[in-house]
Amino acid sequence: MIRLLLNHFFNALKSLQVQTTYMINPKRTKAVLVFFLLMGLSSNTSIFGQQVDTWFRAGKGVNAPTSPLNYADPNPLPPADGTPVTTWYDIVYTVQQNLIPNPNPIHYPNPWFLPINPGFDYPYPNSGSYDLFLTPTGSIPGLPTLRRNLASNINFNPVVNFDGSGDGQALHFRSDSRENVTVFVVFRAQGAGNSAETQRLLFGGDIENHHTSFNQDEWTTNLSLGVADGNVFSVGRTWEGDGGGFFQPGSIDLMGLPSIGTFTRSTSVDSERLETYVNGLNDIGVNRNHALADNPLFFFNRVGKHFNSNDSNRNLTGDIAEILLADYSISTSQRQMVESYLAIKYGITLNAAGQLGSIVGNLGYPYLASDGTVIWDPALDSNYRFDIAGLGRDRFDDIIGGLSLRYDQHQRISQSVNSGAIVAMSTNTSFATDNLDQSRTEIDNTTGGAPSLNSHLHNYLIWASDRGSVNQTAVELPTGYSARIEREWKIQKTVSPGVDPINGVSVRVDLSGSDMLSNPNCGTLVLLIDNDGDGDFTTGLLTAIPNTSIDGANNAYFDNVTFEHAQVFTLAFLDTEDPTASDQVSTVCDTAPAVDPDVIDDETDNCGIASVVFQSETTDNLSNPETIVRTYRVTDIYGNFIDVTHTIYVYTSPVVDEPADVSACNSYVLPPLTTGSYFTGSGGTGTPLSAGDVITSTQTIYVYAATGPLPCTDEHSFTVTINDTPAVDDPADVTACDSYALPPLTNGDYFDAPNGGGNALSAGDLITSTQTIYVYAETGTTPNCSAENSFTVTINDTPAVDDPADVTACDSYALPPL
């Protein structure tokens, strides 16, 4: 409201300035009268309230107007990385105080509010010998650059980068808030200078010829907030005849890291109280007494370069991400609300006293939601105080006519900006884009229906570490885990009643500086959550979430992770992989082998086998085969196991007939068998034979039988000896006179009785009587194989005759009787 009235007032006032050529407009004159009337009424009322009048953030309104969009609307989104910033629009657009480039010097006398070619015209004085407009004596600065890339961003949020070399870069705006004020600025810069004029400028700026008028109470004084020697956030004050001005350097070295600088000015008669805070720490606190100490601040504020700077070392070289300017000296709780908002948004760890939170952690600074709810309680567990970061959604509940801090929070991806912080979280699985990626999952902020730009409910998921080593340890190592990272993180989760909490986030852990992935750990890298939150991973229930992937830079990713308030998490290697082994099958004869775990001979595991143990045995009690199933349990060193079986098929061996060795003459006929079959070779080889087959040569015959696929066999062999019956001569019957001499035989021998009986005769023996002679031969084996022929020798006796002596007779001889 006050800004709207001021806008009407100054527009009307401009029409009355004598140095302009405007005609007096009755409507504008009336507006001036109305303004003073309302101002008079407001002296005893809170109609105007206290509020953030000016709000710049690099994530909205760069080169695109913010009006008439909802303050919480992310649009207009900033342009691409590397775009020169020509106008940085004020988000509080009721009376916009936009950051704009330095005017062309010919336009310096122009009114500041002109839409085209605005100048540096002063609201007052309007005549006389006093300066009527600002004439910067420094060189004309260039334009800063929007940086919207992951390397330049501050916690995934864009920045406006100022290059201080040469003429430097700067923007300025005409401020409505010039009495009691509070300034918040998020920046990253190295410091230089040791005075109001020489420190590197963040906000305000010194001028060469200070503003004066006929009434000293209307003189304005210059405020310079900057980064001085030692990288300290410092305050400078200059005014006409200041004799060098006032300068109070801070005492905390910000080391050029992302920082939240907070400044408050509160005035009383001829005095002012100046205070600064950096990342929550109270730094400067000084009371300054001077006749001009309570005068209004100068009309124009520069960002990046003093109005009178011709020295590049006085120019800001660094980044500014966000500026909030309130029209009152903010209270402690309100300051904590805004600092908490900025700390979560930019990943900056706050602290209440001592050293920076980035060094010693948060030792007592409670982070507050916009309604004052504590969203990070440092007393919950002071071990987890480092590298605080969070996801969250929140909006300050502006009250018409009351307090309006304006800010809104919607941080959907986050990581502490502290060196060594390794955990980032996102509401979706992408870590490749910034926090302005509108495809990233929204955070809920309503008790029903879709999220709303107008809701003032909050929803936070915040984490911090104990800053333990990022290398692996065996301390507090639960059963089944091979190693874990020493560092732990604690969750604090705060949400307005009825709002859906932040669940199912993705987590990225940078392990490039850890030995977890380079050591020969076995198992799966998991995000390990200690559900009872005591930080002891050997007690209570645990939740293990396997990694989704590990990229080439050794970033481990875990998706769809839901944390609960006060839980603690770390990373560990969990062996969830069961060992492998094959089922075994054996076929045996007659008797199953003894139980033997060594029968499982191909067991393997990614971590190592601890044991193979017999579990049970079953049988079907059948035969040929009987099936026996034995179960063995293969267990690895972390308790994962697999059950495998050894199936045994038992077959009964046959019992074959056992014929004795046999000898036969000339041939042998195989007899029938009860069990088995005949073969000419061992093991069922050679030529199969059958009962009734005639064996005509001496050989070994095998009786063989088999059952089952092994097979189970029995075999008996016997020898069949075949003796050939000898050949014998077959003499013909013979008749002889008186005797017969036996001729020689080719085959056989002579006998006078059958079958080699009687008397043996030999060739040449005289047979003198008629008889049967036998020619006989035998093998002399068992059985004896023999052959025999017989012939008859018939002997006829020669008759006896007288043997008269020779006689000589004459003439005749009469034979005598014989």
pLDDT tens digits along 156-200: 999 999 999 999 999 999 999 999 999 999 999 999 999 999 999
Q: Is 306 exposed, middle or buried (0-12, 13-18, 19+ CB in 10 A)?
A: buried
CATH no., domain 100-141+150-330: 2.60.120.200
Which residues are 285's β-sheet partners? Answer: 275
**Rounded Cα gap, residues 808 and 59, in angstroms:** 187
Structure tokens that stand for 29 in this block: 């004159």
CB 412 within 8 A of CB 441: yes
Q: Tell me the domain boundaries of the chain.
A: 1-47, 100-141+150-330, 354-574, 584-651, 662-723
Q: Which residue has the tokens 């009786």?
A: 703
Residue whose token pair is 């730094």? 283
C-beta separation of 236 from 226 below 8 A: yes
pLDDT at 804: 85
Taking the mean position of all CA atoms in its chain, how far away is CA 711? 54
Mean pLDDT, rounded, for 693-705: 96
The whole-number average pLDDT for the span 727-741 is 93
Are the folds of 100-141+150-330 and 584-651 the same? no
Question: pLDDT at position 62, please?
Answer: 99
The pLDDT assigned to 403 comes to: 65
Count of alpha carbons within 13 angstroms of residue 657, beta-carbon side: 17
Looking at residue 402, its pLDDT comes to 59
Of 27-36, 273-282, 710-719, which range is least confident? 27-36
Are 175 and 120 a contacting pair, CB within 8 Å? Answer: no
**Are the CB atoms for 773 and 790 separated by under 8 Å?**
yes
User: Could you tell me the CA-to-CA distances from 614 to 439, 493, 585, 634, 643 in Å, in that order?
Assistant: 56, 49, 15, 9, 10
Q: Which pLDDT band, with edges at 50, 70 and 90, does 742 fall under?
A: very high
Look at residue 29 and tell me whether its pLDDT is greater than 50: no
Q: What is the pTM of this model?
A: 0.78
Residue 248 has pLDDT above 90, yes or no: yes
SS3 680: coil
Torsion of CA 588, 592, 593, 598, to 10 degrees: 80
pLDDT in tens, 662-675: 999 999 999 999 99
C-alpha to C-alpha distances, 148 to 170, 344, 425, nearest whole angstrom? 18, 19, 19
Contact 365, 332 (CB under 8 A): no
Angle at 423 between CA 420 and CA 426, to 5 degrees: 145
Of all helices (H) and strands (E), which one includes residue 335? helix 332-346
Q: Is the pLDDT of residue 550 over 90?
A: yes
Find the helix or strand (DSSP H, E) in which 339 lies.
Answer: helix 332-346
Q: In which band, very low, low, confident or very high, does the pLDDT at 399 lie, cut at 50, 70 and 90? A: low
Residue 95 pLDDT > 50: yes
DSSP state of 39: H
Residue 699 token pair: 């050989």
β-strands 423-426, 505-510 pairing: antiparallel
State both tokens at 437.
């990626």
The one-letter code for the residue type at 124 is Y
The amino acid at residue 666 is N
Measured distance CA(227)–CA(118) in Å, rounded: 29
**Interatomic CA distance for residues 519 and 508, integer angstroms:** 20
Q: What does the alpha-carbon distance between residue 520 and residue 498 come to, in Å, rounded to a whole number?
A: 47
pLDDT at res. 42 = 34
Q: Rounded distance, CA 262 to CA 322, Å?
A: 12
- C-alpha of 331 from chain center: 45
**By percentage, how much of the chain surpasses pLDDT 90?**
85
Question: Is 492 strand, coil or helix?
Answer: strand
For 577-602, what is the mean pLDDT? 95
SS (H, E, C) 76-133: CCCCCCCCECCCECCCCHHHCCCEECCCCHHHCCCCCCCCCCCCCECCCCCCCCCCCE
Query: Residue 801's pLDDT is what?
Result: 84
Strand 472-473 and strand 481-485: the pairing is: antiparallel
Rounded Cα distance, 646 and 585, in Å:
6
What is the third-level CATH fold of 584-651? Answer: Immunoglobulin-like (2.60.40)
Among left, alpha and beta (phi > 0; psi -120 to 50; other), residue 118 is beta
Q: Which of 247, 248, 280, 242 is nearest to 261 (CA)?
A: 280
Amino acid at 567: Q
| Model confidence pLDDT, tens digit, residues 424-450 | 999 999 999 999 999 999 999 999 889
Q: Are 776 and 788 in contact (CB under 8 A)?
A: yes
* Dihedral, 695, 696, 700, 704 alpha carbons, nearest 10: -20
Query: Max CA-CA distance within the chain?
Result: 234
Query: Is pLDDT above 50 for 129?
Result: yes
* Residue 456: predicted pLDDT: 94
In eight-state DSSP terms, residue 530 is E
> Which of 351-355, 724-728, 732-736 is the most confident on average?
351-355
